[in-house]
A and B are shown apart, each in its own frame.
Chain A
Amino acid sequence: MSIGGFPTGTGTAPHAQSQFMVEHHAELLDSLDSAQRRNLWRFRIISALVWVALVLLVGGGMWLASGAEFEFVQTSGPVIVLQGAPTTVLVSVLAITFATALAIIGALGRLSLNPIFSAVASFYVSLIRGTPLLLQIYFIYFALPQLDIVLPAIQAGVTALALNYGAYMTEIFRAGIQAVPRGQREAAQALGMPEQLVMRRIVLPQAVRIVIPAVGNEFIAMIKDSALVSLITIHETLFLAQRIGRSAFEPTAALIIAGAVYWTLTIIFSFFQARLERRLARSDR
């Protein structure tokens, strides 16, 4: 759950570096002669082989250490993956959606000249970032009902994750807004646009584009943090792995399966994030 050290001033956007790398990579390819291309392929093949070897070594080693029979993967693997993974993705997608909305509002508050709006936003960020996510999850599930606010388990989990990530992402969005070159705003003002319209039509669209890679990062982090909601009875991946693992007296093997599920999910979403980043970089050429 890092928010990275984005420059808060004007100028360099967070994606500028990756954009540079993409362009750099393309130029590099064009400039290669056939021998260099062969070398490049050799590099790729060897690194792929090393990956495969590492996966087998680490995964197989962990499995051997667990002392489990492979049969367990066949009997219990499908139920952990098919029932757990969709719930993990559902909770994460819903939570990141609400967190993004909260973050935009929070960032506008953090930058607002209205002292009330600004104080509320900075209080929110301070309180949520200053307390553990696990505590927030417990609080929303167990304590809010004392005030007659009884959110069902999934809603409680999504609310806690959204509130928590919304606070971290508030800072990302604030940095994104501040990273939009000052000249953009000045030009719009010079055309006579009112302040609100400048924010909505000129600054925010550019800011959103700047922060999308960082939001993708947060989403990938959230897929793993969503495992914490297993403690409030949500049958997501880790919950099912723990309960089914203990039921079958194979808890460690079940954890390895859950680990593989989370890893696979993050690989899939990292792939989409990289594509999205490349697409966004295109318009900057």
Chain B
Amino acid sequence: MRNLRRLALLPAAMLVLAACQNTGAGSTSQSASASTSSSAEASESQAADVKPCESEGIDGLLAQVCAAGKIVVSTDPAYPPQSFLNEETGEYEGFDIDVAAAIAERLGVEVEFTDPTFDAVVAGNWSGRWDMSVGSVTVTEERSQVLDFTQPYYFTPAQFAVLEDSSYQSVDELAGKVICAGESTTYVFWVEGTLTLGEGAPEPAPVPEGMTATTFPTDIDCAESWRGGRTDFEAWLTALPTAQDAIDSGNYAIRLLGDPVFYEPLAVAFDKAAEDNDSLLAAVDQIVGEMHEDGTLTELSEKWYEGLDYSTEQ
């Protein structure tokens, strides 16, 4: 039977499959230099220095990344304005994206993005699927057991939002109520009383008594749930810039409630289970420090957060 003989073509089909590796997979390479060329002073001061990938005697994960010529960065492109897909082109855009591209450029490699769910990122054990996370991950003691963090690259306030026509005037009134937050986020940990921010972070506000949280895979789904007419929860806790962006979109009848309940330091994360990540961690940590000093992070923050500088602690 001829059809059976066609089975012999299977290996050929396998090759086709291998060739398709990069078609449509969550990995879009883009030139790292594109989004950072705007900071002219930064690149001038950088030009004198030797990029980590061009220096001698590098080892561990850094050497692997340099040899590959690219660094695979995880991000969740459903978090405007930190990380999102352009609604017309489908390209990655946002603050985190620009920061990741700047880090890659200063390392001397290309950047490639991949987009696992947020809970997969903070669970650690990435199996080498990606090298680092520039996904607005908050440094917490719990996460520090599975992830290695650089110094924070920016700080955001955690902010409550409620329906515009609700009667709530302060966070305390949410005692005994159900609120909504993204899965595995610090917002849920805060409600559950398990949030332990890294050293030096300001003390979080006390949690109103009896408050419980319901979760969705990502923060925006909370607002969308309200928009659809669901009222399973009374308030939404998320990053202030994300809540502000949702309000500014004009698609949701919501308003901010009270002061931020805590300020979170957000850092670049690495998988503790990865072998020899010290070299890469040290190199990226140094780059983040330089980006603070030369004003690159301030500039990028002002670009994406309506002129606000979130790169320093409030």
**Quick check: is B308 within 8 A (CB to CB) of the other chain?**
no
Query: Nearest chain-B residue to A203 (Cβ)?
Result: B1
**Is B190 among interface residues, defined by CB-CB distance under 8 A?**
no
Specify which of A67, A98, A232, A250 lies most central, judged by the most chain B CB atoms within 10 Å of its CB.
A232
A153 with B25, Cβ < 8 A, contacts A97-B13, A104-B7 known: yes
For chain B residues 214-245, which have a beta carbon within 8 Å of chain A? 218, 220-221, 223-224, 227-228, 245
Choose from A67, A233, A249 the contact partner of B26 (Cβ within 8 Å).
Answer: A233
Q: Given contacts A79-B89, A142-B127, A240-B85, is CB(A251)–CB(B26) below 8 Å? A: no
Query: 8 Å CB contacts to A: which residues of B69-112?
Result: 77-80, 84-90
Is A86 a contact partner of B24 (Cβ separation < 8 A)?
yes
- Cβ A251 vs Cβ B85 within 8 A: no
In the complex, the answer to whether B224 meets A248 with C-beta atoms within 8 Å is: no
CB-CB under 8 A from A249, the residues of chain B are 80, 220, 223, 245-246, 249, 251-252
Question: Is B3's CB within 8 Å of the partner chain A?
Answer: yes
Judge whether A24 is part of the interface by a CB distance below 8 angstroms.
no
Cross-chain contact of B24 among A87, A204, A242, A247 (Cβ < 8 A): A87
CB < 8 Å neighbour of A146 from B78, B80, B127: B127
Which positions 114-171 of chain B face chain A at CB distance < 8 Å? 114-117, 120, 127-129
- Residues in A with CB closer than 8 Å to B25 are 152-154, 233-235
* B23 close to A154 (CB less than 8 A): yes
Closest Cβ neighbor of A209 among chain B residues? B3
Q: Is the CB of B3 within 8 A of A208?
A: yes
Alpha-carbon distance A67/B10, docked complex (angstroms): 48
Please tell me if the beta carbons of B21 and A204 are within 8 angstroms of each other in the complex: no
B87 with A76: CB separation less than 8 A: yes
Please report the C-alpha to C-alpha distance between residue A240 and residue B127 in the assembled complex, in whole angstroms. 25
* B67 on interface, CB distance cutoff 8 Å: no
The verdict on A244 contacting B10 (CB below 8 Å), with A234-B26, A251-B224 known, is: no
Q: Which residues of A contact B85 (CB under 8 A)?
A: 240, 243-244, 247
Please tell me if B17 contacts chain A, counting CB pairs below 8 Å: yes
Cβ of A247 and Cβ of B78 under 8 Å apart?
A: yes
Kindly state the interface size class of chain B when it binds its partner: 35 or more
B78 touching A242 by the CB < 8 A rule?
A: yes
B80 CB contacts on chain A under 8 angstroms: 246-247, 249
- Pick from B84, B86, B89, B251: contact of A67, CB under 8 Å: B251
Interchain CA distance A104-B7 in the complex, whole Å: 10
In the docked arrangement, what's the CA distance between A235 and B77, Å? 12
Tell me which residues from 246 to 271 in chain A have a Cβ below 8 Å from any Cβ of chain B.
Answer: 246-252
What 1/0 mask marks residues of chain B from 38 to 49 whose CB sits below 8 Å from any chain A CB? 000000000000
Q: Which of B25, B218, B224, B227 has the most CB of A within 10 A?
A: B25
- Residue interface bits A9-40, CB-to-B below 8 A is 1, else 0: 00000000000000000000000000000000
Q: Which residues of B7-27 have CB atoms within 8 Å of chain A's CB atoms?
A: 7, 10, 13, 16-18, 20-21, 23-27
Q: Which chain A positions have C-beta within 8 A of B218?
A: 246
Q: Would A243 and B77 be within 8 Å (CB), given that A90-B20, A236-B24 are in contact?
A: yes
Q: A189 interface residue, CB < 8 Å from B? A: no
Which residue numbers of B lie inside 8 Å of A, CB to CB?
A: 1, 3-4, 7, 10, 13, 16-18, 20-21, 23-27, 77-80, 84-90, 114-117, 120, 127-129, 218, 220-221, 223-224, 227-228, 245-246, 249, 251-252
Interface residues of A (CB under 8 A from B): 65, 67, 72, 75-76, 78-80, 83, 86-87, 90, 94, 97-98, 101, 104, 141-142, 145-146, 150, 152-155, 158, 200-201, 204-205, 208, 231-236, 239-240, 242-244, 246-252
14 A-B pairs with C-beta separation under 8 A: A65-B228, A80-B90, A83-B24, A94-B20, A141-B129, A145-B127, A150-B127, A204-B1, A204-B4, A233-B116, A234-B26, A235-B24, A249-B246, A250-B251
